[in-house]
């Protein structure tokens, strides 16, 4: 039986709007991908190019998400763990078997039927986690572009849902949209207002 290591990372824990997204990737040593690193250290164009390369060259990959409603019900940490479980399940569905181990970026692991190891700053240390971080970030940014088209008044294409001054001003002016996370303090404060 082959030993396949799965890297897992998330994007979108800090924003006030949209899903939290996780990526899971098993790299194929026969098809190396050059330039993998923490998605935050890459330009949008480089991330997009690597996204295409990862989805075509990886042994398997998956994306999972937890909705704003699930974030509000569970809390952001538990919703992130759920998104990671869904990403790994999506990868397993594509690969047809479970990887031997999951390497998770951060200091906590979701509950899984395989061994899992949390690695702080893993997206800078483990290529499979870097690849997962790129998948999650590009996928979430694409979602924010779609949300921007639906709700242009918030400027989601500029700040990707993070609590920038422009976003907070738009929230105060227009109130939250359906995709805002009601449990996050800046949104919750407006709900009472």
Distance of alpha carbon 20 from alpha carbon 22, whole angstroms: 7
CATH of 5-192, one of 3.30.420.10, 1.20.120.160, 3.40.50.150, 3.30.420.40: 3.30.420.10
Q: How far is CA 29 from the centre of its chain?
A: 24
Q: Which residues of 129-142 are buried (b: 16+ CB within 10 A; e: fewer)?
A: bbbbbbbbbbbbbe
Model pTM? 0.95
Q: Please give the average per-residue pLDDT across 111-126, as a whole number.
A: 96
Tell me what pLDDT residue 170 has. 96
Q: Please give the average per-residue pLDDT across 86-92, as a whole number.
A: 98
Q: Please give the average per-residue pLDDT across 141-149, as a whole number.
A: 97
Beta bridge partners of 103: 7, 117
Model confidence at 186: pLDDT above 50: yes
CA–CA–CA angle 188, 189, 193 (5° rounding): 115
Closest by CA position to 111, among listed 77, 134, 136: 77
Write out pLDDT tens, residues 10-34: 999 999 999 999 999 999 999 999 9
192 pLDDT band (50/70/90 cuts)?
low
Going from N- to C-terminal start, the domains of the chain cover 5-192
171 pLDDT band (50/70/90 cuts)?
very high
Distance of alpha carbon 123 from alpha carbon 137, whole angstroms: 12
């Amino acid at each position: 039986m082959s030993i396949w290591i799965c890297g897992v990372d998330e994007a979108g824990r800090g924003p006030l709007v949209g899903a939290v997204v996780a990526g899971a990737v098993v790299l194929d040593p026969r098809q190396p991908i050059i330039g993998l690193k923490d998605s935050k250290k890459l330009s949008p164009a480089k991330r997009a190019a690597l996204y295409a390369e990862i989805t075509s060259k990886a042994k398997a990959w998956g994306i999972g998400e937890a909705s704003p409603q699930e974030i509000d019900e569970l809390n952001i940490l538990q919703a992130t763990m759920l998104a990671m479980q869904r990403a790994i399940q999506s990868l397993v569905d594509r690969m047809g078997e479970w990887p031997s181990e999951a390497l998770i970026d951060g200091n906590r692991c979701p509950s899984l039927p395989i061994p899992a190891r949390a690695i702080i700053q893993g997206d800078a240390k483990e290529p499979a986690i870097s690849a997962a971080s790129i998948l999650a970030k590009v996928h979430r940014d694409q979602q924010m572009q779609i949300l921007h088209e639906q709700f242009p008044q918030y400027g989601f294409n500029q700040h990707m849902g993070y609590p920038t001054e422009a976003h907070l001003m738009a929230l105060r002016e227009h109130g939250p949209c359906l995709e805002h996370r009601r449990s996050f303090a800046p949104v919750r404060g407006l709900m009472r207002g």
